[in-house]
A and B are shown apart, each in its own frame.
Chain A
Amino acid sequence: DVLMTQTPVSLPVSLGGQVSISCRSSQSLVHSDGNTYLHWYLQKPGQSPQLLIYRVSNRFSGVPDRFSGSGSGTDFTLKISRVEPEDLGVYYCLQSTHFPLTFGSGTKLEIK
């Protein structure tokens, strides 16, 4: 199985600040079709996960441009700028290039 290593585990932030979350995979996430199936989710307390970024760098409908994704191969980053209270929760990466699909272990964004 592809191991997805997310860091940090916990990320204290000041409102209005900027943060980055890293997700590294144990093997390349480039699919044979040329796409890279690495996605980012936010799970707010008591809610279902919600899609933020799909295929590395594409913002899902309604997601503010404060969120951006980048990376390639095995190394990916989610950046959040001008952090707002609604951004707090646990962030997960998901790879769907390889079977079985695997999630990162999560990064909890909390107020400093």
Chain B
Amino acid sequence: EVQLQQSGPEVGRPGSSVKISCKASGYTFTDYVMNWVKQSPGQGLEWIGWIDPEYGSTDYAEKFKKKATLTADTSSNTAYIQLSSLTSEDTATYFCARCRRGDFDYWGQGVMVTVSS
């Protein structure tokens, strides 16, 4: 059974960074690209970017190029997103989602990040 288990909720101070994880199981981690999606409170979905765990190659939506850093650890089958220079605009739920052939077939449960002083 494919599962994407994300880490717990985070609280970060303005200007700081947070790093959240997405542990994959039930499939070969390096066979699928991992995407990250942002959902601000009460809002829709925004694509942040993706990482190919096999090669470590990444691509980001322009808006997130200076905000997010995607990495992957193939030894633990875990993908990560680091969010830097936090502001109130970064308060949101962040999902990881496996990319099959352009569609996101399995999603993590989401991680709530709250930016607060």
Chain A positions near chain B (C-beta within 8 angstroms): 35, 37, 39, 41, 43, 48-51, 54-55, 60, 92, 94, 96-97, 99-106
Contacts and interface: CB of A to CB of B under 8 A. Distances in A.
Contacts, number: 58
Closest 7 CB pairs of A and B: A54-B103, A100-B61, A48-B107, A37-B102, A96-B102, A101-B47, A103-B45
Contact of A37 (B47, B62, B103, B110): B103
Given A92-B45, A103-B47, A49 B95 contact: yes
A106 B44 contact: yes
Interface residues of B, number: 22
A49 B103 contact: no
B98 to A, nearest CB: 10
B62 A55 contact: no
